[in-house]
Amino acid sequence: MTRTLPLTYPAPVRRLTDPSPAAIEAAAVTLVAAFDNPTTRACNGEASEGIDIVRQRATLIEAIIDPRMEVLVIEEEQDVAALVFIIPPEFKRRPVDSLAPHNAALAALVTPELEAVGKKLDTALAQLKLDTFGPAVNEMYSIGRLATSPGHQRKGLGRILLDVILDRARNENRDIALVTPTPSVRDWYLRMGFHIHGKLDIELRVASLSSRRLMKELADIKGNGTPTGIALVSADNMEEWVFTIQVLGDETVYRGETFALRIRFGERYPIEYPEVTFLAHGQYKPPMHPHVYTNGHICASILGPEWSPVLNAVSVCITMQSMLASCKKKEWPKGNDSYVARAPANPKHTRWEYHDDTV
């Protein structure tokens, strides 16, 4: 199977293709700074021994001159602020002496000892992925390293690089497999929409139908926007999004009001409908409506028997906007107080009765 690498990348990302000493040194410094710390060494054990400039230089040169791999970087003030290794499907490590015409440069940096360590780690990692994912792992992309220099962290640079890989995987309908034993790194990937897979609690992949679908929905929203009166205000992960909704027109009883709709997605979305509530705290209050309770729970058949997998997050917002637009009188549902007093935290656990579709 072959693939065509993109000729351009979204700014400020570029592909590192220069194996010059200066370029290698800058990237190697970032790798060492990001990975050579007590937490990583404690989690990786013996595998992390010898994390130094020499080893990282060797790794970078191998990746840069192997046309099957990509090293993407973001540079700030002449520093490599962040970088990522993208490993393509069906990738197998080549012997160093096969990577002509750069044999001389490699021979000086990739010592037999380092190459032996690399082969040992690659073999163990490949077997771990095969045991966890099965033969399907050969069809997945892998993230070899994703590192942000300590001085450039918390700027969203890692997310920018990850989005490039996610877009690639989504366009080719592939999954992404990676292994990370570091708890803080694992938690970051979970927030980015990855899922723990396997018994080891360190195998992660973007493999669920939910993640794929939501990445497509988010791309559609970014590319095409949302309907008038509806805005996406929060989509930091693939588990919970928040939209604001305004009802249009001068005749609406909600003129000038803005409501916030929270949508939580389960792993079986869109086969199963999401958890949808109006926010009832902070600057937002739920709309006073016969089908909306003061805790934000909503009684609507679209969030039950009339749900269809062809619907999406924006469809839900449009339905809620239409439901509010048809309301002629502000009032809470009958039995609001008793329901709120005993309501489950998740409205999907409520047995709703749908008998009034006039508002």
- The answer to whether 89 and 139 have CB atoms below 8 angstroms apart is yes
Q: Which of 178, 112, 149 is nearest to 36 (CA)?
A: 149
List phi, psi (to 5°) of 41: -65, -40
Q: Which of 278, 207, 266 is nearest to 242 (CA)?
A: 278
Amino acid in the structure at residue 4: T
Handedness of CA 185, 187, 190, 191 (dihedral sign): negative
327 is known as an active-site residue: no
Burial class of 241 by CB neighbour count within 10 A (0 to 12, 13 to 18, 19+): buried
Active-site pick, 43, 299, 317, 327: 299
Residue 135, token pair as written in the block: 């033969």
Amino acid in the structure at residue 57: R
Q: Is 155 left (phi over 0), alpha (psi -120 to 50) or beta?
A: alpha
Residue 124 vs residues 117, 120, 121, 177, 180: alpha-carbon distances, Å: 11, 6, 5, 15, 14
Q: How many CB atoms lie within 10 A of CB 282?
A: 7
Distance between CA atoms of 289 and 253, rounded to whole angstroms? 10
Residues 6+ apart with CB under 8 A from 297: 277, 339, 343, 347, 350
Amino acid in the structure at residue 143: I
Distance between CA atoms of 212 and 239, rounded to whole angstroms? 12
Distance between CA atoms of 96 and 60, rounded to whole angstroms? 13
List phi, psi (to 5°) of 252: -70, 145
Catalytic residue annotation? 299
